Amino acid sequence: MTVFNIDEEDNLNRMRRGDLYYAFTPGLVAARKRCRQAVTRLNAAEDPTRREMAEFWRQITNDDRPLPPRAATEDEEDNVLHEYPWIEAPIRIDYGTNIKVGSNVFINFNCTILDTCQVTIGSRTLIGPNVSFFSGTHPLDPELRNGTNGPELGGTITVGEDCWIAGNVTILPGITIGTGSTVGAGSVVTKDVPPYHVVAGNPAKIIRKLERNPNGKQQFSRSPKILHALQIVEPESRSNGIQA
């Protein structure tokens, strides 16, 4: 492996902008190690409390803001700590410092976030199991790619508020998923998703637009075509539900 002699701060800024940068400089190797150690502490915890979970997230994202004062009950703690995500371990994250998460976000197990560039997840968004956020990528030219000695690049990922990303979804660099949208299980998102749309498939394609009531709420459809595309199992005797 090449020993890189470049400006670490400039290299970091290039990474965050999505420009070509080098991932195996001492500074970035150390940054990933710091995050990996913090993630390991979360993954090793058995049944952490809501406050412990928030503290683990602070360590992962390198957030130096103190947690709010402790509440009297666990239910009250959940309200007090709403700006920190609810996480089902294990998860995997590269840097942690390039992640921005809104309030009341749920992240299910085996989530992978490669936060080469900023990954933003809006408030009240639900992330299913085995979801991957890949904000990093590599040059297509193999000579430029050059294994660990070559440069990498990336693109920001933005998931709006009130979204549902179902299980086994992969989101590629540079993607924006609009507010209120749903991505069906097993999808690979290669293009932006407009607000209030349902997409599914590999590559993900628009299944339908979610109509809005005058009061601003979404109308739920029981269309068999949509339910099938979203991998929904819906016996007639049961209320429908999308597999997370």
Residue 238, in any domain of the structure: no
Domain boundaries, position 39: 8-66+76-209+220-229
**pLDDT surpasses 70 at 237:** no
**pLDDT surpasses 80 at 225:** no
Backbone phi, then psi, for 224, in 5-degree steps?
-55, -35
Quick: pLDDT tens for 14-73.
999 999 999 999 999 999 999 999 999 999 999 999 999 999 999 999 999 999 999 998
pLDDT of residue 217: 58
pTM of the full structure: 0.87
Residue 100, in any domain of the structure: yes
- What is the pLDDT confidence band of residue 177, given thresholds at 50, 70 and 90? very high
DSSP, res 210: P
pLDDT of residue 221: 53
**Total domain count, the chain:** 1
- What is the pLDDT confidence band of residue 230, given thresholds at 50, 70 and 90? low
Residue 243, in any domain of the structure: no
Contacts (Cβ under 8 Å, ≥6 apart) of 123: 102, 103, 104, 105, 161, 162
Mean pLDDT on 91-116: 98
Residue among 138, 154, 131 at smallest CA distance from 204:
131
Backbone phi, then psi, for 109, in 5-degree steps?
-65, 155
82 is catalytic: no
**pLDDT surpasses 50 at 171:** yes
To the nearest whole number, what is the mean pLDDT of the chain? Answer: 90
Mean pLDDT on 216-225: 55
Residue 26, in any domain of the structure: yes
Residue 235, in any domain of the structure: no
**pLDDT surpasses 50 at 240:** no
Upstream peptide bond of 203 is cis (omega within 30 degrees of 0): yes
DSSP, res 124: T
Residue 151, in any domain of the structure: yes
Mean pLDDT on 83-98: 98
Q: Do 18 and 154 meet the contact criterion of CB atoms below 8 Å apart?
A: yes
Q: In this structure, what CATH number is given to the domain that contains residue 34?
A: 2.160.10.10
Quick: pLDDT tens for 125-168.
999 999 999 999 999 999 999 999 999 999 999 999 999 999 99
**pLDDT surpasses 80 at 97:** yes
Locus of tokens 């290669």: 190
Residue 236, in any domain of the structure: no
Token pair of 71, please?
Answer: 């509440």
Q: Which range has the worst mean pLDDT, 4-13, 25-34, 48-57, 108-117?
A: 4-13
Residue 29, in any domain of the structure: yes
